[in-house]
A and B are shown apart, each in its own frame.
Chain A
């Protein structure tokens, strides 16, 4: 390039530049770059760039917080499994205590929900809370994952080898082998056990129930010559008189009784009479709450009262009377009523006392109730346990028994002789437990051969004479477990395939007894499909032989004690189930604990207040809960707590009250013992109640009336409804729906408050467990709750139960206050919740007059602070894939099981037909043992719900607020004698 210059200086400068330029040029141009850049230092621009990038990247990374989780599709599509579509299998729930015929809902091969089996002639589609929760037991991380020897993991081959060798040795030496089991109602298993006994000769099979009915057996043996438990039919009765028998809650066959009871008391089809129920009881039970008349009696009064009633009736009918002490209870009117209902009454007692059971039998015989309402030939196979079982085992061990096999029993925990039993076991050479968890008994056994969960096993059951029930696996065993029957078969040296054994048993023993099916295969397939088979059996009733009656005598020193089973926890077998622990007791509304229930008067007299800690007989400490309606000088404590080896949920919760069982004449009774409590000054223990205010404050929330008034005016008790309807006016147009408008009705006369719906909903809708601390903070997550109110006298109040869930108001107060429109109203009348949209202002919760909205105060899933089923990979398998698991900070509530509505709507669409009424069943409704809930379309006039809503008993909760709820209630009617 030619260079021009204007001055000498410039020329020289150019010259100089040219010289410098001769230096070798760098490989790439750094022209225009600053020194810092060349040296690799960053300047302000870079800083800004990097800052921008960092913030931008962090924002993107943070907003896409959900990690990608890969789902692997089926390599080979399994037969019968369609992803996203549920399969249902009929099966049987029986745990040695409760029985239910069930349908198991499985999704992609895993059971996620228990439904009632409507084909069953016993449970008729109903379940109870324990049955509902049992699906979670399948995924309990505390279950044994392999067989154990001395607590160490081992494998089946070696454990079998050792046990068989031992058994054969003992058999050869003619040493006694004890098989201790709970009541087995499976006919095939019974046969298997007897074959096992034959194989090893000296096997004694002893049946042990933690809570037994041995006195009933014994009384029937005396009165009828045979040991059995009769069946009852409440539908045929006009009057039921229960004495400490919680027959709707925990006694004998509660689901079946509830079905019969509610059917006889619904008053929906123009009936002019209803079953009357009088309950005499010492503690307040669910059954007492449902009763028309409830009379608190001390345990020691029960026998005396019954004998007086017997004498009254006997005197009137001209039979022998017996010497009876006077009773303070005014029983004459009730005895008179029994006489009026001769042949249409049932008198039963839940007390395991021979004298009391004999008197009950006597009264029923005098009233001619046998074969009219009580059946001696059609029997229950439940509760065959021997009250002396543990004593017998201890005696046998002392006299040389060398092996004990435990099947579905846990006597170290639940026998009053537990400690002695544990000590006796030390002397036994071969100690085997077949328990599926390392429970108190299993942990002192040498070998533990874990059983399958019942959802993994084949089995059958004969709950009542002639009524059979089948059980089939709904999932392959999750852990390395083996079902007990297979274990026994293996030890007998046979091919361990119990399903074949079962089928053969049915072919040989049950198939021949029926005439409907012509081939066994069709009979078998139908039975497995239905889950139940009923054989036409001819019953030969037994003749009653009177026995000598006397009232039992008690030696009371201090206060009288009643032990009781809680609705959720029962005898403590499922203590490690967090759903059951968190189910509020329907009477005390307490969760996660047992406690000493005292009456209001007792608390006053002994200056006790709620949550004070008392020492019980100086043995252990429990908090006080003041329970109105307890009998005078009576104290109630729940059994089933104080587990030490149930798992991390249950351990150290409450105290074990089995040691307080009353033993007399060889019977073990929950009632009758004496107890002394002394207040520990200055010590309190918080109780987690889900309801802390117990009266309705005179508000017409649960509306009730009596039968007399109802017959005169069907709208009686519901007067407020007419007043509110008259004032019901608005400036706005009423919302209109096309297609469907979903509605629900709850019959308060049918509902007994058992809490089945709560657990059913929890299982269906992935409702989180939050633990005692958070329940105490009043943050329970249950979408449906059962409110309990007391009315009248504080020493014997009446109880009113009211299930409350989202009312799906058509004029919902929650909807218009949400700033982000996260809870809109659907075109089908549902109040919907968009979790993704919710930002958690909680205004909707405040503005819901029914208080049914729940907030995720914490992250309840995958959080070690809430170490329940949603915090481990096994426990999470129970989650319903149709329902999202809610995250922290969002509001949730009842959705009317929208996933079920959608499923059935799609089914109808696929089949190109109209939806049928009753096709959609919400989770709470499906398994309700009382059939108290009806769900359906309000727009179609002939649906059940539409018909019910025309009933004069119908009202809405808080209808004066003009929220226009889609959920209505029917008034409660008590059959009171005026």
Chain B
């Protein structure tokens, strides 16, 4: 629909098909660089910290966290929502941009989808570890049993969470994997290592690149895409209902589902931006992930940040307009001017104000600033979840119960641990899977390159 005049060139350097294959597969053949080992060690260390924290949590109890009778959810849920948000990037990229016929997605969607899968795994860990009795976690699945039978509570948003997240995870993973089949076949065909041939051969499902194969491939992608599209919306809507269906002031709002979905995509795109800037620099993919790509993401972020600002303003307005004293207290006193001012204004600054800098083309072109901004967005989104979870719980209806909350080392450890898992996952992805969807890039080459 759009031609190169609007979007610019999507693949620079006048590549041939063969060159694309060679370029993208190159890092998989190159000797593992030192920095990779350094980063992997770091990630592993972070993971070990997380495993220690998980061990303490499971063996001693949730009491090792900073949560209390009044603020019963803390970093565990904040990080869960944060990771789920990040996990929206891949599917959003693949599906929404596919629907909108945005060709430029092709060089980014693979990495974004990989991120999704790892981020959802990180997210899924939190509700589990957060349970008082993790060994009874299976109670949450509606399985036929002899206890009555005793079913789960289908009214509970937490049960919806379980269904939504597991479905989303499976759909995302399958979607990601199916997209990789032709590329695995490419590696299989190119590699000289016997082991690699076997492994990639196994994963490529005997792909031969026949017309029939392509036909099936396209159909399957389309079907899965169609399935995953509503899931993107559903997952974070349901996560938002963990809050929205409650009675807590600051949680009990109808704006939550769209606000959460948009916020999730915002943080997902932010994370994609962070990651792609690193990837194109480290693996010299500047010709595939061009400045034009980054520019497009920055523009989307500007647009989403306006939606975020609208959501924040609406919340405040409704709190005031509704005239309910508890809501007014939570929003206008507790968040805007009270104990949680710092967190609230960090959130507003990072999510609603700073991205407005992207209106300037000069800033959008400055990769360093864009990189810093992408990190700010993820900090901002983390604080958004902090503001929602902690402020509402810590000062709710009865002032006698008001309590503060600060995390312990164990909670920090779990967060750092998931960062480690994420980093390690991404590093493994860099090492063993083509970072850019070769076949898809080839598909747009003729139309959009010089």
Residues of chain A having any CB pair with chain B under 8 Å: 691-699, 701, 774, 777-780, 785, 787-789, 802, 804, 813, 816-821, 837-843, 845-847, 849-851, 853-859, 887-891, 957-958, 961, 963
Contact = CB atoms under 8 A, between A and B. Distances in A.
B399 A961 contact: no
Interface string B115-158: 00000000000010011111011011000000000111101111
Interface stretch (B69-77, B106-114, B427-435): B69-77
Given A819-B153, A851-B70, A855-B69, A839 B399 contact: no
Contact of B248 (A804, A846, A891): A846
A636 B396 CA distance: 32
Given A817-B158, A889-B61, A856 B132 contact: yes
A820 B133 CA distance: 12
Contacts of A695: 399
A889 B158 CA distance: 17
Interface of B: 60-63, 66-70, 72-73, 127, 130-134, 136-137, 139-140, 150-153, 155-159, 161-162, 242, 245-248, 325-326, 329, 393, 395-404
A969 to B, nearest CB: 13
A889 B66 CA distance: 15
A837 B139 contact: yes
Contact of A841 (B158, B246, B247, B404): B158
B233 to A, nearest CB: 22
A850 B248 contact: no
Contact of B131 (A701, A841, A847, A856): A841
Contacts of B61: 856-859, 888-889
23 contacts: A692-B404, A693-B399, A697-B329, A699-B325, A777-B68, A778-B69, A779-B69, A802-B400, A818-B156, A818-B158, A819-B161, A819-B162, A821-B152, A821-B153, A839-B137, A843-B156, A846-B72, A846-B73, A850-B398, A857-B63, A889-B133, A958-B397, A961-B247
Given A840-B132, A841-B131, A851-B70, A846 B393 contact: yes
Given A697-B329, A821-B151, A837-B150, A849 B68 contact: no
B62 A855 contact: yes
Contacts of A821: 150-153, 156
A817 B133 CA distance: 17
A890 B158 CA distance: 16
Contact of A847 (B67, B248, B402): B248
A849 B250 CA distance: 13
User: Chain A CB within 10 Å — which of B62, B133, B404 has the most?
Assistant: B133
B396 A849 contact: yes
A846 B246 contact: yes
A839 B139 contact: yes
The 4 closest A-B pairs by CB, nearest first: A840-B132, A889-B132, A857-B63, A787-B400
A774 B73 CA distance: 17
Contacts of A963: 247
Nearest to B242: A843
Nearest to A65: B135
B153 A816 contact: yes
Contact of B399 (A699, A813, A842, A854): A699
Contacts of B131: 839-841, 889
Contacts of B398: 701, 787, 804, 849-851, 957-958
A813 B133 contact: no
Tell me if B's interface is mostly helix, strand, loop or mixed: loop
Given A816-B155, A820-B153, A846-B73, A839 B247 contact: no
A637 to B, nearest CB: 25
A691 B132 contact: no
Contacts of A855: 62, 69, 72, 132
A845 B247 contact: no
B400 A789 contact: yes
Given A841-B158, A843-B72, 6 more contacts: A698-B325, A819-B161, A839-B136, A842-B62, A849-B396, A855-B72
A845 B248 CA distance: 11
B400 A788 contact: yes
A857 B62 contact: yes
A841 to B, nearest CB: 6
A847 B155 CA distance: 14
Contacts of B393: 846
A841 B242 CA distance: 12
A699 B72 CA distance: 23
Contact of A817 (B132, B140, B157, B329): B157
A851 B66 CA distance: 17
B158 A843 contact: yes
B132 A888 contact: yes
B323 to A, nearest CB: 12
A461 to B, nearest CB: 38
B140 A819 contact: yes
Contacts of A958: 397-398
Given A778-B68, A961-B247, A820 B139 contact: yes
Contacts of A888: 61, 132-133
Contacts of B396: 849, 851
Contacts of B245: 816-817
Contacts of A837: 139, 150
B158 A842 contact: no
Contacts of A692: 402-404
Nearest to A62: B135
B399 to A, nearest CB: 4
Nearest to A845: B72
B400 A691 contact: yes
B152 to A, nearest CB: 6
A817 B397 contact: no
Given A889-B131, A890-B133, A891-B132, A820 B140 contact: yes
A857 B151 CA distance: 26
Contacts of A890: 132-133
Contact of B156 (A785, A802, A819): A819
A777 B62 CA distance: 12
